[in-house]
Amino acid sequence: MAVIALLATLAVPAVEAITGANARKAAGELAGSMRALFDTAALRHATCRMALDLDKRAYWAECAPGRAGISANPDREPDDRTLEERFPGEKDADVRRILAKSAFGQFQDRLVQKRELPGTTGFGPVHVEGRRDAIESGTAYVYFFGGGQAQRAYVPVVDGKNLYTIVLEPFTGRARVVSGKVEVRE
């Protein structure tokens, strides 16, 4: 009995990776979280964002009260080196300056909890409206605005050869999961 239980324990993760169950489940949960965050931002008239940590294979929601805040001390800008240390995943200096001025904090809700991707599932290159290049490492942010809008985003969830892409529509907040790679619309 013990040998059979051990073999079953070892076989389940391998079967999930082969069938793509982990990637499919993770993509569905992330799409649901994005839809909930779109609704939250619209109802609360707040600016929220979904943070996708591509290196640690995790995601969570952050919201700013009202519109995204600007620093209370705009005359004192942090130097570029400090900003590089604070936002190591962001390569664009202008985006780092904007991020430093925001007042985002982690958003706590049972529908949008911090989660790690299961098994060997990870993120592929994330495309976000307003960014020229795909984000391949560090933290990618997808923004949701109080006026009932979001950034168009394409978020691939990959497990081995299994690929599911979450496509977030900007005006409806619809986050649909598509099997395979999706051509990015500019």
Asked if 142 and 128 touch (Cβ cutoff 8 Å), the reply is: yes
Per DSSP, the three-state class of 148 is coil
Asked if 114 and 106 touch (Cβ cutoff 8 Å), the reply is: yes
The model's pTM is 0.72
CATH superfamily of 2-68+103-179: minor pseudopilin epsh domain (3.55.40.10)
Which has more pLDDT, 143 or 7?
143
Asked if 66 and 121 touch (Cβ cutoff 8 Å), the reply is: no
Does residue 103 carry a pLDDT above 80?
A: no
142 Cβ neighbours under 8 A, 6+ residues apart: 34, 49, 50, 52, 126, 128, 150, 151, 153, 155, 168
CA pair distance 116, 101, nearest whole angstrom:
27
125-184 pLDDT, tens per residue?
999 998 889 999 999 999 999 888 999 999 999 999 999 999 999 999 999 999 998 888
Q: Show me where the domains of the chain are located.
A: 2-68+103-179
